[in-house]
Amino acid sequence: MLKVTLKDGTSREVEQGTTVLDFVKGLSNSLAKKALAAKMDDKTVDLTTKIEKDCQLAVLTFEDADGRWALRHTASHIMAQAVKRLYKDHHVQLAIGPAIENGFYYDIDMDKQLTEEDLKDIEKEMNKIVKENLPLERKELSREDALKFFQEQGEGYKVELINDLPKDAIISLYSQGEFTDLCAGPHVLSTGKVKAIKLQSIAGAYWRGDEHNKMLQRIYGTAFEKKSDLDDYLHMLEEAAKRDHRKLGKELDIFSLHEEGPGFPFFHPNGMVIRNELINYWREVHRRYGYQEIQTPMIMNRQLWETSGHWDHYKENMYFTKIDGEDYAIKPMNCPGGMLVYKSQPHSYRELPLRMGELGLVHRHELSGALHGLFRVRNFTQDDAHIFMMPSQIEEEIQKVIDLFDEVYKTFGLEYHAELSTRPENSMGSDEVWETATNGLRNALEHRGLKYVVNEGDGAFYGPKIDFHLRDSIGRTWQCGTIQLDMLLPEKFDLTYVGEDGQKHRPVMVHRVVYGSIERFIGILIENYAGAFPVWLAPVQVKILPITDKHMDYIELSPEFSIVEITVPRSFQNKTLVESNIRAKYGINVVAIKRDENLIVSPQPTEHLLKGDIAVVVGSNEGINSLEALE
């Protein structure tokens, strides 16, 4: 009998030669139905794989990235089969067809130029293949036999691929019905498992990405387990395109990018309103949570970056300059500067935890092809803070940081989940410190009752961390906040505090960001709100149209306008409500919003004002007078 160890650490005995599928059926029939592939030790495998030795086994479903990969990659085989069936007179040759993030593609060489119309035919044929529910069968061939097979099939690219495989490589083929492809796998059990398919586009792609090679036709598509999930995904894509922050950022005059400074965003007056409000809010919250604020310089000398390790390990992302003949670097991170501030004074345990915030503008080199609006830039402002504390304070302090994060994310109506990354191999520091640190993070999450997943061994070599993933209004997630414990920098910079015993001790340090990058966060907010910012962030907040004579007093102040634009202070408690805020604050009611010539009567309390909206209000004279006082 063999021993199979499961993810939860429990183990089962199984007879040698049992397939993974039969093993999983023994665990649970419903799990076997959901299973798409499995992870055996470190390898993803088909469910038809036989268990031949003691191993660790994890079942992969559509919830797992590798499970989705197996399903979508199978869809690429189905697409290739459909193309071969439909265009057999067009010398179809297949190149490569991997799964990718959110979908799959296949590169195909044929003497017919495919059009968007053809995609519909291919999709139809694919659905037929799905209905046929063909099992995928794996077989391994010798190099010789594999070469012979693909030569006979006229598959020149496959022949090239086999010739490039290392000598000892196992060459595997997968067949479904009449179609066979060269592939390492894994795949799902049968074509019937791929329930929902959508082909999305055709593009040109050079064989092996080399422009000297032939241009092939690349068909992109995606696949899901359920039709409803596919529909939701396609709807989300449509919404995302409508909300693209690069498009809205221009329309709403928030920011621009110029070839004179690629990746260095320019903020316009409207963008600065949003930016400054985010910063004001950040300062207000951090003051309340006991943070102090510092600012460290943008340029510091080589020696500092050597001490911090950036000079050796982060150089390709940094910009450099010379001053008086000496090497300097432009900061890619705020930490080393923060260390110098800490070191500039002696510290006592009584001051700890010491929380030092910095809104630091950092510069990092990104490849020009990777730049993307405000999401991927070359300079950005980290809403950083470094917290110095005693090991015994970790749990309580992390709890406070999470409280702060929770408050900030709720303000934007963003749900989130956390991911805890634990000790990797080859890490520094003692077992004891790692245990205290990791338990500190874990307990803080537990006590808050937060949803979190654990990424075993995914932490940095210098400490465990918690990442916060925000869910936006169309279901996408964005990693923004991080709480990173660091045992390395306090060592490198020889940071100390004097303990109760009068001796010097090493503090534990945390790096943390809430927004992450203010620039990127603005991009996320633009897309999350589709440009309809809550009133406290909106560049144009409210326009008032008094509708009775009683309100004429106010209008007389601006005789040239019958509609008066005013600015409301941005310190609302509930930052998402338009109507109730205005009523609560000024004793006047928003009875309608005028938008593009349409009148939205009785706006919902959660209605956001868009740029150009006019709020139609009625209310007391005092209300109007207090509005006047605001100007």
Helix, strand or coil, per DSSP, at residue 80: helix
DSSP 37: E
Cβ-contact 177, 136 below 8 angstroms: no
Q: What binding mask, one character per residue, do residues 165-194 give for Zn ion by CB under 5 A, x or -?
A: ------------------x-----------
Task: Report the DSSP pairing between strands 103-109 and 93-94.
Answer: antiparallel
Q: Cα 559 to chain center, whole Å?
A: 50
In the chain, what's the furthest Cα-to-Cα distance?
Answer: 94
Q: Which region, judged by CB under 5 A, interacts with Zn ion, from 333-341, 387-395, 430-438, 468-476?
A: 333-341
Q: Which CB, 341 or 563, lies closer to Zn ion?
A: 341
Q: What binding mask, one character per residue, do residues 434-473 give for Zn ion by CB under 5 A, x or -?
A: ----------------------------------------
Find the catalytic residue in 335, 484, 543, 608: 335
CB atoms within 10 A of CB 262: 12
Q: Which CB, 488 or 566, lies closer to Zn ion?
A: 488
Q: Cα 375 to chain center, whole Å?
A: 10
Q: Cα 117 to chain center, whole Å?
A: 33
Q: Which CB, 335 or 401, lies closer to Zn ion?
A: 335
> Per-residue DSSP letters for 277-294?
HHHHHHHHHHHHTT-EE-
Cβ-contact 578, 615 below 8 angstroms: yes
Q: Which region, judged by CB under 5 A, interacts with Zn ion, from 64-72, 332-340, 350-358, 405-413?
A: 332-340
Q: Which CB, 511 or 575, lies closer to Zn ion?
A: 511
Q: How far is the CB of 495 from Zn ion (least distance, A)?
A: 13
Q: How far is the CB of 554 from Zn ion (least distance, A)?
A: 50
Told to judge if 480 belongs to the known catalytic residues of this protein, a careful annotator would answer no
The helix (H) or strand (E) run that includes residue 141 is strand 137-141
Q: Which region, judged by CB under 5 A, interacts with Zn ion, from 84-92, 330-338, 528-536, 583-591?
A: 330-338
Residue 335 in contact with Zn ion, rule: CB under 5 A: yes
Q: Which region, judged by CB under 5 A, interacts with Zn ion, from 7-15, 16-24, 367-375, 507-515?
A: 507-515
In sequence order, the 6+-apart residues with CB closer than 8 A to the CB of 364 are 317, 318, 332, 378, 379
Find the catalytic residue in 193, 347, 355, 364: 364
Q: How far is the CB of 187 from Zn ion (least distance, A)?
A: 6
Please report, as residue ranges, which positions from 85 to 114 form the binding site for Zn ion (by CB under 5 A): none
Nearest to 433 by CA among 381, 373, 390, 391: 391
State the Cα–Cα distance between residues 302 and 116, nearest whole angstrom. Answer: 55
Q: Which CB, 109 or 384, lies closer to Zn ion?
A: 384
Cβ-contact 15, 50 below 8 angstroms: no
Told to judge if 384 belongs to the known catalytic residues of this protein, a careful annotator would answer yes
Please report, as residue ranges, which positions from 251 to 280 form the binding site for Zn ion (by CB under 5 A): none
Told to judge if 335 belongs to the known catalytic residues of this protein, a careful annotator would answer yes
Please report, as residue ranges, which positions from 401 to 420 form the binding site for Zn ion (by CB under 5 A): none
Q: Which CB, 332 or 546, lies closer to Zn ion?
A: 332
> Exposed, middle or buried, 4 (CB in 10 Å: 0-12/13-18/19+)?
buried
Q: Which CB, 162 or 542, lies closer to Zn ion?
A: 162
Find the catalytic residue in 81, 93, 176, 382: 382
Report whether the peptide linkage leading into residue 559 is cis, meaning its omega lies within 30 degrees of zero: no
Told to judge if 386 belongs to the known catalytic residues of this protein, a careful annotator would answer yes
Q: Which of 72, 363, 376, 511 binds Zn ion (CB under 5 A)?
A: 511
Q: Which region, judged by CB under 5 A, interacts with Zn ion, from 265-273, 281-289, 327-335, 564-572?
A: 327-335
Q: How far is the CB of 336 from Zn ion (least distance, A)?
A: 8
Residue with tokens 């009625």: 618
Q: How far is the CB of 618 from Zn ion (least distance, A)?
A: 52
Please report, as residue ranges, which positions from 287 to 326 form the binding site for Zn ion (by CB under 5 A): none
In sequence order, the 6+-apart residues with CB closer than 8 A to the CB of 330 are 298, 299, 318, 319, 320, 321, 363
Cβ-contact 109, 216 below 8 angstroms: yes
Told to judge if 465 belongs to the known catalytic residues of this protein, a careful annotator would answer yes
Task: Report the DSSP pairing between strands 2-6 and 11-14.
Answer: antiparallel
Told to judge if 608 belongs to the known catalytic residues of this protein, a careful annotator would answer no
Find the catalytic residue in 181, 383, 384, 486: 384
Find the catalytic residue in 310, 347, 511, 543: 511
Q: Which CB, 78 or 183, lies closer to Zn ion?
A: 183
Find the catalytic residue in 347, 376, 386, 442: 386
Told to judge if 382 belongs to the known catalytic residues of this protein, a careful annotator would answer yes
Q: Which region, judged by CB under 5 A, interacts with Zn ion, from 255-263, 372-380, 409-417, 505-513?
A: 505-513
CA angle 530-264-340, nearest 5°?
Answer: 110
Cβ-contact 73, 26 below 8 angstroms: no
Q: How far is the CB of 440 from Zn ion (least distance, A)?
A: 18
Q: Which CB, 20 or 183, lies closer to Zn ion?
A: 183
Find the catalytic residue in 158, 376, 465, 608: 465
Size of the site for Zn ion (CB under 5 A): 3
In sequence order, the 6+-apart residues with CB closer than 8 A to the CB of 614 are 543, 544, 545, 563, 593, 594, 595
The helix (H) or strand (E) run that includes residue 591 is strand 588-595
Q: Which parts of this chain interact with Zn ion (CB under 5 A)?
A: 183, 335, 511
Residues taking part in catalysis: 335, 364, 382, 384, 386, 465, 511
